[in-house]
Structure 1
Amino acid sequence: METIILLTYSGLCWLVFKVFKVRVNQWTITTAILGGFFLIASMVVLMNYNHPYTSNARTYFVSTPIIPNVTGQVSEVMITEQTHVKKGDVLFTLDSTVYVSKVKDLRANLAFANTRLKQSERLLRANAGSAYDVDLYKAQINQYNAKLEEAYWNVEQCVITAPTDGLVSQLRLRPGMRATNFPLRPLMTFIHTDKQYVIGAFPQNPAQRLVIGDEAEVIFDAIPGEVFHGKVVRIGEVLAQGEVQANGTLLNLDNHGLHIVQGSIPYYIELTSDMEGYFIPGGAKAQMAIYSQYMHPVKIIRKVLLRTKSWLNYLFGEH
């Protein structure tokens, strides 16, 4: 931003001296240099404090690693890559043969225990049996019912469904692969397609000027020449630099002469412009400016500079 202002002022000076033929001497040169320095410095200070800008912004999304609750071989993958699914849609299934067999085994044992319970009760009523046998088979029935409930749950977990509306990106799961209930080995990453925010990291200096509801403008590297309107909907209340956790050591505030990192405050921006027709991938880089309720005349300059930055996005090198 400062470079654009400096180049603009240099262009105005050239226009004054070359086009309007203003005499070049020590007084006019000194006036142009000192005047330009104080003018640009005042403008930059007022803009940065009241209408800050950041190039450290990005669209963020939430993902969920899909890990099955049971172990088994993948039978069928029901989705394709980048296909949007609804909550509850089947993602893939596991071979449930082992778990179904366990259900059948428990049901057979449960039926046998019920039969023996009835026989024991008849013998007890005829004074030919013991109450111990009746209590024993009742306990077995309760035990089999509990195990059967778990077995049914295992069978249900062989069908893995979408946790919310979303999609799966970079799908590499194939039938025949072995799925395990291990947190460090997810089978796929599910991307939630709920409302996304553009989050910008701003320095702490203008924090007292910015509040929720302030106007914001966002430009994307992926959409040169366009400026999108939005508003501040959330402000980060804590910074990672100040996080401490319970452990066996005391907090050491001595940084051994190193510079303490200030830490940037995250501002969540909800876009109010119509985004239909634009492709913005999740994680796309952005730049933004937030306009406070102070120093409105300076806001116009910030808007012009932001639009200039947007047009400069057409210029990029080869990767």
Structure 2
Amino acid sequence: MLELLLCSVLTILPDYLFRRFAQGKRLGKEITLYSVWFELRWGIITCLMLTVGLITVIFYNHPSTTSATLYFRTIPIAPEISGRVAQIYVTGVSSEVKQGAPIFRLDSSTQEAAAEAARRKIAEVEASMVSAQTDIAAAEGRAQEAASSLQQAVDELETKQELNRRNAAIVAVREIEKLQNLVNGRRGALAAARAAKQAAEAQISSLLPAQKASAEAALAQAEVERAKTVIRAGVSGRVEQFTLRVGDIVNPFLRPAGVLIPDLTGRKTVIAGFGQIEAQVMKAGMVAEVACASKPWTVIPMVVTGVQDFIAAGQFRGGEQLIDLQQAARPGTILVFLEPLYEGGLDGVTRGSSCIANAYTSNHDRIASGSISPLKGLVLHAIDATGLVHAMILRMQALVLPIQTLVFSGH
């Protein structure tokens, strides 16, 4: 409507003034409701052509969209394990929490039993280490006893053998053989005692420490599993839709406990979706403006900080069927990221608020560089000047938005 009024001032109004004062035709006489088209046909046609051209220039070089909002991140409150709720630390459906603060606790009897079993295993291994020290001492004693018995048998055998060499009739051969067998048996007993000592030393140096390390690892794992039963806030924020009660079953995949909204998220960036035809116009660094429903009668200066170089409507996931483009969704938009031009520009705008966004093309640098012809510079000046019309339209939208929402929408 604003473009039509502007163009009518340049076309229909001069045509009417010419026919009224130059030709002497009077409104209501020669120029009536029925003769308007014939009398003002040139102005009307020219007005419509200029309006269409002006709207095209404005909306192409200074794009606008109503698909803009302050997106914010939500974190589902879900435990790493399934279980039954034993205690709740947060009161109310909506509450503030700090980072690391407990939210609720699951029943940890299974994890505590596993931890207690690991502690008992550690105590058992430590007792086995004490017992192994005793076994080493006992094996050392048996080895010394076996060594003494062996030495006694060897001495007696040597004595009998020496007597037998001197006089064979003094010592019987059968007695020497018995002494030889006795020496061999006591050597075996000494080897067995030493082997028992080595086995006890191996237990206390290798086997039992390994068993203790395994038990300590099992205890650490049990402690970790028990710690998982206490669900804490990963970041500071606000817990919403928290209706959990003691005795409820919570599952990390099927039944989260609520939603955690982190602090200071979605307050610095407005994400807007512009039409695909604006892909060649939208550039990082463009000046923009937004008007949000949660902060009426306010136009916030913004700047384009990023333009996504792909459109979500063209994405696909590899599967067993080929893609048919006729089954594709509606054409997607160019995703643009807007940030406030001034510090605190989005203060007072509610996260998730719906906004209207305008972006403005600026050719000032190209014109000032002197690298373009005067005629082209004049055209670029005119294109930049049409941004004023779009800015006026945005302010009119911001002005009537509360009235349109509260009165004409019936809410």
TM-score class, shorter:
0.7 to 0.9
- Within the candidate set 115, 137, 147, 2:218 is matched to 147
Unaligned runs of at least 5 residues, structure 1 = none
Q: Please report how far the alpha carbon of residue 189 of structure 1 lies from its aligned counterpart in structure 2 after TM superposition.
A: 1.1
Residues 10, 47 of structure 2: 8 Å contact kept: no
Q: Assess, with a 3 A threshold, how the Cα gap between structure 1 residues 225 and 302 changes in structure 2: closer, same or farther.
A: same
More strand by share: 1
Q: Assess, with a 3 A threshold, how the Cα gap between structure 1 residues 6 and 17 changes in structure 2: closer, same or farther.
A: same
Distance 1:230 1:79 in 2: 39
Superposition TM-score, scaled by structure 2 size: 0.67
- Residues 162-177 of structure 1 correspond to what in structure 2 (within 5 A)? 162-177=233-248
Match status 1:51 vs 2:78: no
Q: Assess, with a 3 A threshold, how the Cα gap between structure 1 residues 10 and 124 changes in structure 2: closer, same or farther.
A: farther
Partner residue of 1:5? 3
- Within the candidate set 35, 41, 56, 1:30 is matched to 41
More moved, 286-295 vs 120-129:
120-129
Q: Assess, with a 3 A threshold, how the Cα gap between structure 1 residues 277 and 62 changes in structure 2: closer, same or farther.
A: closer
- Within the candidate set 301, 308, 320, 1:229 is matched to 301
Amino acid at match of 1:232: V
Residues 286, 304 of structure 2: 8 Å contact kept: yes
Distance 2:6 2:91 in 1: 54
Residues 216, 291 of structure 1: 8 Å contact kept: yes
Match status 1:192 vs 2:262: yes
Q: Please report how far the alpha carbon of residue 14 of structure 1 lies from its aligned counterpart in structure 2 after TM superposition.
A: 8.7
Distance 1:34 1:210 in 2: 32
Aligned length: 312
- Within the candidate set 337, 349, 352, 1:268 is matched to 337
Q: Assess, with a 3 A threshold, how the Cα gap between structure 1 residues 161 and 272 changes in structure 2: closer, same or farther.
A: farther
Amino acid at match of 1:271: P
Q: Please report how far the alpha carbon of residue 302 of structure 1 lies from its aligned counterpart in structure 2 after TM superposition.
A: 0.7
Partner residue of 1:202? 274
Deviations 1:147-183 (A, max 9, x none): 1111111222222221122212222122332233x31
Distance 2:71 2:338 in 1: 11
Residues 12, 44 of structure 2: 8 Å contact kept: no
Q: Assess, with a 3 A threshold, how the Cα gap between structure 1 residues 82 and 118 changes in structure 2: closer, same or farther.
A: same
Partner residue of 2:385? 297
Match status 1:240 vs 2:332: no
Superposition TM-score, scaled by structure 1 size: 0.84
Distance 1:173 1:288 in 2: 40
Residues 76, 260 of structure 2: 8 Å contact kept: yes
Deviations 1:236-274 (A, max 9, x none): 22222221223234x43x535x78843201111112454
Partner residue of 2:84? 72
Across the aligned residues of Structure 1 and Structure 2, the Cα RMSD in angstroms comes to: 3.1
Distance 1:62 1:220 in 2: 19
Distance 1:290 1:202 in 2: 10
